[in-house]
């Protein structure tokens, strides 16, 4: 079949056939085409069609399966991501133990391994050398050529069933090219260097802890209880061993690798068969010299006896085979001098100290900067400007200072202190108790403005339709947005906006009208839109209900704010610090001058008091309205909502996929209502 010829969707008027084929025939044909292109793209890295053409094929298959749900099978390309999040992973007992390898660290230990092997065999031996991918070892099981189960290594005897997560990895074939009765293979799930950097950027933006290295990131991604999260992490795999097989026999390991490649697996990259231990050592050195050029991390090279018969003779200990070892490359560490320490301000306002270094060649590239992580790290290591230090690449990617060479300290080194004012916008820098991070709290700090405007315009905040991330970036580049308040002055640039790429007169009018409508929002949306640390949607609503205006809130004391139910000292202090900033007050003045509402409408909006004194907790997905909209309705009838279930809760409104809040409500005997029950209550 020429898979490139069939790229389009052409339904005839007769819905029982598509291009002369029955739905069942067309579905099977589409699956074969999509699996072919998946293999070309994710395994061979040699795509033959565009992403758009691929997406159209997948969409056609999805539509056909939706119309014919009885034809959906677990190995369909549409079923790689699906289902509800798991409560926990099931245990899997490995019939063939997934053993670890003994390590060798230098040439002498490697040659000693070769001596032991030859003494046990009494003959020469052939080896296979493979790159040791730094990831997470897994088992993949197939019956009659179809993927049935995948599991982690665990302790080698008992692992965890992560089938749904492994199905999201597109380099894992769901259907093999041969329908063999049973096959179990072992592979290494990993995250590319590029994806690791992208993921950590997202973690930083979301104010979540950064992953230390690609291996930790891959392991954490594969063990997500929700496969949809795993799917976003773009994991990959190399398969390197047959654990068990029925219906086939082989004489060498290299034969098994070629057979696995034939079946559709992505096998150990560029493995080499070596006739002697000298040749093995040359290959290990070659891999070591090139390791920085690989798009994935390796932490060594694996050396295996090629003959499967010889492997049987050599056998294994309880922990590791005697026919293989892993050569571990030493981490490259270089000495240099810290010329200065400067601070970067991230999009969330976090200040990160970095070292400016005397340039030095490290792990294949010239390094002139290194992360110092945070102030605690600097204090712990006693790092000073002018120090001679040892540096390495954390996870072989991010340069970091390992330690100070104290014997080279001269006495004129300078201690570093974190600035009290943001180096970008000069707003106050705050470090909360119990946190390591120092952060800028300036609302209009240019370093965090892009993210701030995205949040300010979001649905639960000011709800400005048509103002997406790409447009925000373009408006900032043009110099039209230097503050969130500048949104309300965009009408002054109406003619210029119309001329911008991807904007026309109608789009500009819709955008400006949406901005104009947002002026009339209640102040809870405005407070939430400010992005005050620790102040979420519910906290913003409580502030709106307890203070008559933004000006009243701006002049409130800690004691005034802490009187609000569910407000603690941390939340109150965050509000106080935000409103005392001069940049905040300037922004509010600009908003007021533009006609943005700064007065609370909470009490005015109450229709009647049928829910007076009642507390609702919302959980799960509602079909008729969002949880935010349901919360607004409850407030209009005099009730209030809470983010957690307690004995004070009167009702739990439970939608689809309700989680732990529903369970707790059941345990406490709280009345649980459905969406239909809620509709009857508000009719």
pLDDT of residue 15: 45
- Percent of the chain at pLDDT > 90 equals 46
For 653, the enclosing helix (H) or strand (E) is strand 651-654
256 touches 250 (CB < 8 A): yes
Mean pLDDT of the chain: 87
Domain 334-415 superfamily per CATH: Nucleic acid-binding proteins (2.40.50.140)
Mean predicted confidence (pLDDT) in 380-409: 87
- Residue 316's DSSP bridge partners are 321
Dump strand ranges (E) for 557-614.
none
- The more confident residue out of 548 and 161 is 161
448 touches 424 (CB < 8 A): no
Query: How far apart are alpha carbons 312 and 678 in whole angstroms?
Result: 68
Identify the active-site residue in 132, 266, 448, 635: 132
pLDDT in tens, 620-630: 888 888 777 88
Using CA atoms of 478, 480, 483, 487 in order, give the dihedral in degrees to the nearest 10. Answer: -130
CATH of 102-327, one of 3.40.50.2000, 3.30.470.30, 3.40.50.620, 3.30.300.30: 3.30.470.30
Mean predicted confidence (pLDDT) in 187-204: 88
354-388: buried (b, 16+ CB within 10 Å) or exposed (e) per residue?
A: bbebeeeebbeeebeebbbbbbeebeebebbbebb
Q: Give every CB contact of residue 547 below 8 A, 6+ residues apart in sequence.
A: 553, 556, 600
511 touches 494 (CB < 8 A): no
What single DSSP character describes residue 621?
A: B
Nearest to 334 by CA among 424, 269, 403: 403
pLDDT of residue 477: 87
The residue assigned the tokens 């309205």 is 625
Query: How far apart are alpha carbons 64 and 53 in whole angstroms?
Result: 17
Query: How far apart are alpha carbons 15 and 24 in whole angstroms?
Result: 12
138 touches 161 (CB < 8 A): no
638 touches 611 (CB < 8 A): yes
Return the SS3 of 630.
helix
Query: How far apart are alpha carbons 253 and 240 in whole angstroms?
Result: 9
CATH domain 615-682 topology? Rossmann fold (3.40.50)
What does the DSSP assignment read for 103-140?
Answer: EE-SHHHHHHHHHHHHHHHTS---EEEEEEE-SEEEEE
Query: How far apart are alpha carbons 653 and 661 in whole angstroms?
Result: 10
The residue assigned the tokens 């509800």 is 84
C-alpha distances in Å from residue 540, one per residue of 526, 628, 632? 8, 12, 12
Choose the weakest-confidence range: 57-61, 525-529, 579-583, 606-610.
Answer: 606-610
Query: How far apart are alpha carbons 515 and 509 in whole angstroms?
Result: 10
Q: Give every CB contact of residue 142 below 8 A, 6+ residues apart in sequence.
A: 148, 176, 180, 182, 183, 184, 185
What single DSSP character describes residue 222?
A: H
Return the SS3 of 269.
coil
pLDDT of residue 645: 85
Query: How far apart are alpha carbons 139 and 557 in whole angstroms?
Result: 59
Has residue 60 got a pLDDT over 80? yes
Every domain of the chain and the residues it spans: 3-79, 102-327, 334-415, 449-593, 615-682
Mean predicted confidence (pLDDT) in 146-164: 93
Task: Give alpha helix (H) positions in 122-245.
Answer: 163-166, 193-205, 214-222, 227-232
557-594: buried (b, 16+ CB within 10 Å) or exposed (e) per residue?
A: eeebbeebeebeeebbbbbebbbebebbeebbebbeeb
Work out the pLDDT band at 245, boundaries 50, 70, 90. very high
Using CA atoms of 28, 31, 37, 43 in order, give the dihedral in degrees to the nearest 10. Answer: -120
What's the CATH architecture for 449-593? Orthogonal Bundle (1.10)
Assigned token pair, 470: 């790409």
Max avg pLDDT among 120-134, 194-208, 392-406: 120-134
Angle 144-149-154 (CA atoms, 0-180°, nearest 5)? 140
Work out the pLDDT band at 8, boundaries 50, 70, 90. very low
Q: Is 647 a catalytic residue?
A: no
pLDDT in tens, 487-522: 999 999 998 998 887 788 888 999 999 999 999 999
What CATH number does the domain located at 3-79 have? 1.10.287.610
pLDDT of residue 551: 93
């Amino acid at each position: 079949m020429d898979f490139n010829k069939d790229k389009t969707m052409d339904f005839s008027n007769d819905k029982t056939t598509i291009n002369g084929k029955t739905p069942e025939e067309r579905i099977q044909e589409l699956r074969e085409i999509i699996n072919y292109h998946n293999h070309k793209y994710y395994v061979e890295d040699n795509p033959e069609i565009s992403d758009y053409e691929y997406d159209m094929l997948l969409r056609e298959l999805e539509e056909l399966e939706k119309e014919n749900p009885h034809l959906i099978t677990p190995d369909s390309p549409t079923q790689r991501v699906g289902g509800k999040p798991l409560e926990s992973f099931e245990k899997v007992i490995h019939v063939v133990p997934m053993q670890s390898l003994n390590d060798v660290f230098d040439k002498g230990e490697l040659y000693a391994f070769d001596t032991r092997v030859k003494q046990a065999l009494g003959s020469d031996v052939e080896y296979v050398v493979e790159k040791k991918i730094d990831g997470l070892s897994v088992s993949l099981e197939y019956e009659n050529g179809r993927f049935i189960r995948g599991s982690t290594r665990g302790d080698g005897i008992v692992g965890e069933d992560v089938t749904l997560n492994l199905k999201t990895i597109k380099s894992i074939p769901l259907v093999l090219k041969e329908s063999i009765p049973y096959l179990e293979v072992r592979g290494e799930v990993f995250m590319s260097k590029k994806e690791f950097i992208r993921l950590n950027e997202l973690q930083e933006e979301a104010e979540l802890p950064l992953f230390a290295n690609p291996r930790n990131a891959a392991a954490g991604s594969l063990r997500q209880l929700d496969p949809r999260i795993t799917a976003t992490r773009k994991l990959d795999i190399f398969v390197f061993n047959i654990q068990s097989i029925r219906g086939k026999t082989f004489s060498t390991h290299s034969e098994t690798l070629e057979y696995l490649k034939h079946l559709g697996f992505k096998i150990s990259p560029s493995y080499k068969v070596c006739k002697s231990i000298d040749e093995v050592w040359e290959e290990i050195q070659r891999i070591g010299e090139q390791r920085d050029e690989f798009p994935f991390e390796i932490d060594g090279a694996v050396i295996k006896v090629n003959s499967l018969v010889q492997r049987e003779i050599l056998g294994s200990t309880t922990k590791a085979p005697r026919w293989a070892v892993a050569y571990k490359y030493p981490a490259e560490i270089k000495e240099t001098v810290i010329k200065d320490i400067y601070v970067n301000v991230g999009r969330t306002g976090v200040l990160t100290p970095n070292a400016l270094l005397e340039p030095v060649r490290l792990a294949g590239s010239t390094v002139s900067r290194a992360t110092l992580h945070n102030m605690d790290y600097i204090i712990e290591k006693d790092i000073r400007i002018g120090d001679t230090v040892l540096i390495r690449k954390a996870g072989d990617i991010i340069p970091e200072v390992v330690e100070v060479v104290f014997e080279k300290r001269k006495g004129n080194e300078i201690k570093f202190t974190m600035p009290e004012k943001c180096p970008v916008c000069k707003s106050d820098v705050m470090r909360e108790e119990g946190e390591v991070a120092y952060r800028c709290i300036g609302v209009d700090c240019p370093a965090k403005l892009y993210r701030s405007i995205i949040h300010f315009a979001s649905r639960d905040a000011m709800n400005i339709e048509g103002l997406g991330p790409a447009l925000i970036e373009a408006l900032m580049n043009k110099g039209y947005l230097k503050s969130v308040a500048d949104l309300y002055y965009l009408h002054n640039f109406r003619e210029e906006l119309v001329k911008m790429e991807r904007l026309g007169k109608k789009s500009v009018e819709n955008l400006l009208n949406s901005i104009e409508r947002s002026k009339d929002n209640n102040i809870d949306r405005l407070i939430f839109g400010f992005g005050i640390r620790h102040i979420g949607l519910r906290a913003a609503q409580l502030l709106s209900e307890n203070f008559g205006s933004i000006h009243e809130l701006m002049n409130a004391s800690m004691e005034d704010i802490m009187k609000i139910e569910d407000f603690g000292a941390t939340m109150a202090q965050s509000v106080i610090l935000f409103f005392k900033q001069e940049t905040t007050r300037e922004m509010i003045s600009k908003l007021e001058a533009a006609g943005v509402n700064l007065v609370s409408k909470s009490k005015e909006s109450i229709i009647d008091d049928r829910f007076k004194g009642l507390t609702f907790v919302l959980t799960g997905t509602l079909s008729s309205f969002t949880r935010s909209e349901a919360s607004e309705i409850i407030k209009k009838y005099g009730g209030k909502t809470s983010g957690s279930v307690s004995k004070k809760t009167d009702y739990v409104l439970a939608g689809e996929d309700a989680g732990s809040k529903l369970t707790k409500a059941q345990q406490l005997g709280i009345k649980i209502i459905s969406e239909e029950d809620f509709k009857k209550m508000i009719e």
